């Protein structure tokens, strides 16, 4: 795929959704961090239901740490893998308090040192909470990048690096949100909705479908 095609793809995505947002509910960088940790192998809808109960009761490192693993588990037990996630969140809160003054660090190395925080989670926080040019590649972005030809790659890291290189700079900050939403609602895994796709004529996928 050439640069002109990529530019037009992101121009259209921007035109349709000028200010894309994550579908996770949050009001602070800490709330976003916890929501992203909880979202592993879970839906944003499911996480939002849990945090809607949790955050009014506890939405700081101090308050959540005070709940302990059992107390936190009661709030998030509707989410898959909640036991291990509760342990990770409590330990993350402890480290935030001990090492970072209760604040979410704004660099990748410190974020990835927190339990339950991998490269993708760190990228989401850096991009969404702190406005840094980071690309969080989830299953949706990996699929869309390969299927369309925007940034094909065999591994998540390869796709991430290609997206950072190939996405036009003016669109890079919001690109991860556009691609996630496109993969979630249009370029779906089992059957892409090509007939409803804004960028169908630019996409290099060979097996286009109708929406029937």
CA–CA distances in Å: residue 107 to residues 31, 34, 72, 100, 103 = 17, 16, 27, 12, 12
Q: Which residues contact 1 (CB under 8 A, 6 or more apart)?
A: 148, 149, 150, 166, 204
Q: Is 212 tagged catalytic?
A: no
197 labelled binding-site residue: yes
CA–CA distances in Å: residue 52 to residues 47, 67, 85, 102 = 8, 16, 17, 22
Measure the CA–CA gap between 22 and 174, rounded to whole angstroms: 10
Q: Is 201 tagged catalytic?
A: no
Measure the CA–CA gap between 194 and 187, rounded to whole angstroms: 7
To 10 degrees, what angle do helices 156-166 and 139-148 make?
A: 60
203 labelled binding-site residue: yes
Catalytic residue among 120, 165, 208, 211: 120
Interior/surface letters 143-152, b for 16+ CB within 10 angstroms, e for the rest: bbbebbbbbe
Measure the CA–CA gap between 80 and 78, rounded to whole angstroms: 7
194 labelled binding-site residue: yes
Catalytic residue among 44, 85, 87, 138: 138
Residue positions forming the annotated binding site for [4Fe-4S] cluster? 187, 194, 197, 203
Residues classed as catalytic: 120, 138
Residue positions forming the annotated binding site? 187, 194, 197, 203
């Amino acid at each position: 795929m050439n640069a002109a095609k990529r530019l037009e793809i992101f121009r259209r995505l921007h035109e349709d959704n000028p200010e894309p947002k994550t579908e996770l509910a949050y009001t602070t960088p800490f709330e976003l961090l916890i929501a992203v940790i909880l979202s592993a192998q879970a839906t944003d809808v499911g996480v939002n239901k849990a945090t809607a109960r949790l955050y009014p009761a506890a939405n700081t490192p101090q308050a959540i740490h005070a709940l302990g693993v059992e107390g936190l588990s009661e709030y998030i037990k509707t989410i898959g893998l909640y036991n291990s996630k509760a342990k990770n969140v409590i330990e993350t809160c402890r480290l935030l308090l001990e090492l970072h003054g209760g604040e979410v660090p704004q660099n990748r190395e410190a974020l990835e040192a927190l339990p339950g925080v991998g490269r993708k989670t760190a990228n989401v926080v850096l991009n969404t909470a702190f406005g840094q040019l980071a690309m969080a590649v989830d299953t949706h972005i990996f699929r869309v990048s390969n299927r369309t030809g925007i940034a094909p790659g065999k591994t998540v890291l390869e796709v991430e690096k290609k997206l950072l290189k190939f996405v036009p700079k003016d669109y890079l900050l919001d690109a991860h949100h556009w691609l996630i939403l496109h993969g979630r609602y249009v370029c779906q895994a089992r059957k892409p909705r090509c007939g409803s796709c804004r960028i169908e004529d630019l996409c290099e996928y060979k097996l286009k479908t109708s929406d029937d």
